[in-house]
Amino acid sequence: MLLTVAGLFTSQAGSQQISKYDCERAFSMLNEVAKDVETHYYDPKLHGLDWEATVADTKQKIKSSPSFDAALTQIAQALLSLNDSHTLFEPPPMSYFVDYGFHEQIIGDRCYITHVRPGSDAEAKGLTPGDELLAIGNYRPARETLWMMEYRYYVLWPAAGFRLALRDERGQQRQVDVMAKFTPRGRTWDLSGWGIPDLVRRAEDRGQLARPRWAEVGDDVAVLKLPTFMLAEPDVKALIKRACRRPGLILDLRGNPGGRSDTLSYMLGAMFAADVKIGDRVGRRESKPMVAKSWNQAAAAFGGKLVVLVDSRSASASELFARVVQLEKHGLILGDRSAGSVMEATRYHHDSVTNVQVLYGAEISDADIIMSDWKSLEHTGVTPDELVLPTAADLASGRDPVLSRAAALLGATITSTDAGKMFPYEWPKE
């Protein structure tokens, strides 16, 4: 996987050479995050990787980097060499937001433009939802590597623009040059979060509203769109109390990057009449069972029929939720295969030792989750019980055949056109 995107993290050669001051800053950052990996990574053998040699090689690459930003990409590549979805370098926060004016997503085995921001350069250049994205510069997006491209361009080293290779619904190919928009940000920087998908999401959407959203299909089916697993127990109880008013529930976890393990436990406890095992948390020194306590003794759990929607951007806790429901045969999973980004991780924050304070950090996986079938979802994801994928025409027209099919399985009727209008896409404020 790493070889297919190695160019993304290669310093772009040129006549410039990193200054001695910036080289020392980069060395200091590398030493700190390398120590974090050695001390906290859940597998003390690091999957057989020669970490000492990796760090030494990274230092040589930093010395030959043309800039400080290029040096940071080398630190990022060192951590990515562990091939772990939740172990990554978090560089100093940028002083600006970057917006490329479009969002892309893997659907099945292809990458499509899913949204284009009104008034953006992307819209002016003719990008439309439903365009298949064949290449971003020299890189072909793929399910296994798209997140790396997003991490590179949204978090590590934003680009002034892209040359995109596209194919429209009719099969016609074209190239489009799209320019990014940069907006200064405030001085309050926060390195908190809960994983690579969220790191990319926070960088690209800058505070997109993460509130749960409700809708109903007829009198018998409630639809709960849950953007994250970042809810306190009282919030979950309020949601489930509302869901209990209907005999059928569609839980839409598409695009949900995960969140807190306690929220996951609350949500699962609200769905089962008895305690349910999520999996075994396999850490550096021990393995512990993860169990969601049923609400039946303390509050009313949801006792109706359940359909869970997932896609390629459903990650971490949302994948664990869907897989538990699937393994326990407690509902149906619809949509696309999920991200396969399922580890528990902790963030470690640092200040640079130079005369200028620079915040940076690393996220380090400290446990894998082994499900009740003795398998991990890492790099695998959840395969839906029924694969339902929107077509290019659906994306172009704003239709949602996945939600429409879920309603039908619960005995309700809604067209894919009306389903697509149920939760209008919300662009973050610029």
Per-residue confidence band for 201, with pLDDT thresholds at 50, 70 and 90: low
pLDDT tier for residue 235 given thresholds of 50, 70 and 90: very high
291, 142: one domain: no
pLDDT value, residue 95: 80
Q: What is the pLDDT of residues 116-140, one digit of tens each?
A: 999 999 999 999 999 999 999 889 9
pLDDT attached to residue 62: 96
Based on the domain organization, do 265 and 357 belong to the same domain? no
What pLDDT is stored for residue 16 in this prediction?
Answer: 79
Percent of the chain with pLDDT over 70: 88
Same domain, residue pair 319 and 408: yes
Specify whether 265 is located in the same domain as 305.
Answer: yes
Helices (H), ranges, 386-429: 392-397, 401-409, 416-420
Same domain? 159 vs 266: no
Average pLDDT value for the chain: 89
Which residues lie below 8 Å from residue 318, measured CB to CB, with a gap of 6+?
A: 226, 229, 253, 256, 257, 258, 310, 338
Residue 357, domain CATH: 3.30.750.44
Q: CA of 96: how far to CAs of 29, 186, 195, 203, 427, in Å?
A: 21, 8, 21, 10, 18
Question: Which tokens hold the place of 393?
Answer: 């025409």
pLDDT digits (tens, 9 = 90+) for 239-294: 999 999 999 999 999 999 999 999 999 999 999 989 999 999 999 999 999 999 99
Give me the pLDDT at residue 172, please.
Answer: 96
Looking at residue 191, what is its pLDDT? Answer: 44
Same domain, 263 and 382: yes
Amino acid at 387: L
349-378 residue pLDDT tens: 998 655 556 689 999 999 999 999 999 999
Confidence tier at 8 by pLDDT (50, 70, 90)? low
Amino acid at position 239, single letter: L
> Are 308 and 269 within one domain?
yes
Whether residues 219 and 318 fall in one domain: yes
Is 174 inside a domain boundary? Answer: yes
Interior CA angle at 195 toward 193 and 196, to 5°? Answer: 120
| pLDDT tops 70 at residue 205 | no
Is residue 3's pLDDT more than 50?
no
Element (H, E) at 285: none
Does any domain span residue 402? yes
The neighbouring-strand residues paired with 368 are 282, 343
Give mean pLDDT, residues 70-79.
95
Mean pLDDT of 59-68: 94
Tokens encoding 57:
């090689």
| CATH code, domain with 154 | 2.30.42.10
Range of the domain at 6: 1-92+187-192+343-366
* Residue 311: pLDDT band with limits 50, 70, 90: very high
Q: Where do we find the tokens 């009449």?
A: 273
What's the confidence (pLDDT) of residue 297?
A: 62
CA distance 116 to 104: 9
Q: What is the structure's pLDDT at 97?
A: 83
Residues 128 and 87 in one domain: no
Whose tokens are 């009104």? That residue is 118
Residue 389, domain CATH: 3.90.226.10
Number of domains present in the structure of the chain: 3
With respect to residue 428, please indicate whether it lies within any of the assigned structural domains. Answer: no
Residue 205 in any domain: the answer is no
Domain shared by 323 and 303, yes or no: yes
Q: Which of 352, 356, 349, 358 is nearest to 92 (CA)?
A: 358
Q: Is 202 contained in some domain? A: no
pLDDT digits (tens, 9 = 90+) for 11-54: 444 557 899 999 999 999 999 999 999 999 999 999 999 999 99
Residue 108 has pLDDT above 50, yes or no: yes
Under the banding of pLDDT at 50, 70 and 90, the label for residue 427 is confident
426: in domain: no
Whether 395 and 321 share a structural domain = yes
Q: What CA–CA distance (Å, rounded) separates 348 from 352?
A: 13
pLDDT score, position 204 = 46
pLDDT grade, residue 424 (50/70/90)?
very high
| Residues 121 and 265 reside in one and the same domain | no
Number of helices followed by number of strands (H, E) in the chain: 12, 18
Q: Is 24 part of any domain?
A: yes
Q: Is 364 helix (H, G, I), strand (E, B) or coil?
A: strand
Return the minimum-mean-pLDDT range out of 24-33, 88-97, 110-119, 163-172: 88-97
206 in a structural domain = no
What pLDDT sits at residue 295? Answer: 85
